Amino acid sequence: MKEYFKKTIILGAFLILIVSFVASCEPFVDAGPPTTQLSGETVFEDPATVRAALANCYALLCNSVLLTGSIDGLSIKLGYYADELEPYGGGQSEFAFFQNNLTATNSTINTIWSNSYNLVYALNSVLEGLENSSGISDADKEIFTGEALLMRSMIYFNLTNLFGDIPYITTTDYMANTVTPKVSIPEMYARLTADLNLAQQKLPVEYAAPSRTIPNRSVAAALLARLYLYEGNWELASQKADEVINMTEFYALENDLDRVFVKDSQSTLWQLSPSIEGMATREGQNFIFTMGPPPSRALNPLLVQAFESSDMRKQYWIGTVSNGSSTWYHPFKYKQRIRTDVSSEYSVVLRLEELYLIRAEARSHTGDLTGAANDLNVIRNRAGLQDTQATTPAQLQDAVMLERRLELFCEHGHRWFDLKRSGLAGANLSQSKPGWNSTDILWPLPQNELLLNPALLPQNTGY
């Protein structure tokens, strides 16, 4: 991304970031200073301009970066990498993820890395501009800063769990960025904890819009709960999950499974809207198929078989397609596949069900076995299942992992991250994935980034 710092606009009204993602495919570290930079006086005099810039950041998360339901997003790529999806098309790149056969020169790896750091750079521009602005009120600065910190934290959290040690970049100083070294995972988690706690303080309790497309304080608490869970900080994971679950004036589980992913679902904490009203989510476009064989991808039969016969999620969230002799399955959480007058669904990033499962897992580690079982049963009963029979800590932890697999399948890589953080990836994938190697627990750092910034060395083991 040699032209990245030249092409990234620092917050142009309604145009920021669009230019930066056109033809932006070379390493982000190899560039000169921006040549299209707008002055702070121009950009940061009007909160509407900053709001427009942040709106484009959300749009990029939805359409291009990590959380996107497109073929380069975590839902699809990690669905292959774990055991949720099987490719039926898409060429060699799709099969490389399915076969756990990635290389440091893989173009998708480079795209995911570059697009993520592009957006980090843009968010850093927002944060710097807000800090130096005299035209934005303190109240607006607080909210905008909280949003930018939360988005940046979400990006870094996912990148860390994909690649391991990575650079933590907080400036738009291109000279400093080109030689930024990696930070360890514990150090990254400490910095993200600080960032998310600050974001939670700055974000409002209320949503800025009923669509829940702009995060509020509970979204920061939810992401902190997830971070603490991955860290093994069970007490704080449970505490943060409590904060969200207890916000009953905002959130409630939808008893109708068909309503969980509609745009006005009460279980949604944060979602991303399609770019054009009436468009289906990218998840709906890329997961649903109506004729067999599947044109692109289908659910792994092992996942389908993991559901109990009475589990209503199998009925409501898995689509079945048959040509008379063969049967295939696809994720059917999102129902809208084609454009209509009004979008019925947005892409869900965080939802209440995950917080119950976070708290259940955390409680199983802290000795609150009754509370852990109660949280599990909230999710199981809603799916039409009987109460869990698990009673010991080990049984409850296994039950939580299974419930996470069934509840959160094909949502932003939860299955892969759960296998990775629990140390169960090898045991689960070595038999079903012939290309599995223990070093596949991390993705390779992009080779061109290593050539441009030797501070990123060493390469991850196995590559």
Mapped onto helix, strand or coil, the DSSP state of residue 374 is helix
Kindly state the greatest CA–CA separation across the chain.
68
Asked if 294 contacts 328 with a C-beta cutoff of 8 angstroms, the reply is yes
Q: Is 347 left (phi over 0), alpha (psi -120 to 50) or beta?
A: beta
- Non-local CB neighbours of 173 within 8 Å, separated by 6+ positions: none
Asked if 292 contacts 321 with a C-beta cutoff of 8 angstroms, the reply is yes
What is the dotted CATH code of the domain comprising 4-203+415-439? Answer: 1.25.40.390
Mapped onto helix, strand or coil, the DSSP state of residue 60 is helix
Mapped onto helix, strand or coil, the DSSP state of residue 215 is coil
Bridge-based pairing state of the strands 347-351 and 85-87: unpaired
Query: Exposed (0-12), middle (13-18) or buried (19+): which is 224, by Cβ within 10 Å?
Result: buried
* Dihedral angle sign, alpha carbons of residues 119, 124, 130, 133: negative
Pseudo-torsion of CA 329, 428, 108, 93, nearest 10°?
-60
Mean pLDDT over residues 150-154, rounded? 98
Mean pLDDT over residues 421-449, rounded? 94
Burial 249-266 (b: 16+ CB within 10 A, else e): ebbebbeebeebbbbebb
Q: Output DSSP code: residue 441.
A: G
Residue 2 has pLDDT above 50, yes or no: no
Q: Say how many residues make up the chain.
A: 463
Cα 302 to Cα 126: distance, rounded to the nearest angstrom:
44
Q: What is the structure's pLDDT at 10?
A: 37
Domain residues of the chain, as ranges? 4-203+415-439, 248-335+347-408
Cα 238 to Cα 246: distance, rounded to the nearest angstrom:
12
Residue whose C-alpha is closest to residue 147's, from 64, 55, 228, 229? 55
Q: What percent of the chain has pLDDT over 70?
A: 90
Reported as a single tens digit per residue, the pLDDT across 56-106 is 999 999 999 999 999 999 999 999 999 999 999 867 888 999 999 999 999
Q: Output DSSP code: residue 349.
A: E
- Neighbouring CB atoms inside 10 A of 52's CB total 17
Residue whose C-alpha is closest to residue 417's, from 196, 232, 162, 237? 162
Mean pLDDT over residues 295-305, rounded? 97
- Residue labelled with tokens 């949604």: 268
Reported as a single tens digit per residue, the pLDDT across 133-150 is 989 999 999 999 999 999
Whether this prediction's pTM lies above 0.85 is answered by yes
Lowest-confidence region among 7-11, 178-182, 294-298, 388-392:
7-11
384 phi, psi to nearest 5 deg: 85, 15
Q: How confident is the model at residue 41 (pLDDT cuts 50, 70, 90)?
A: low
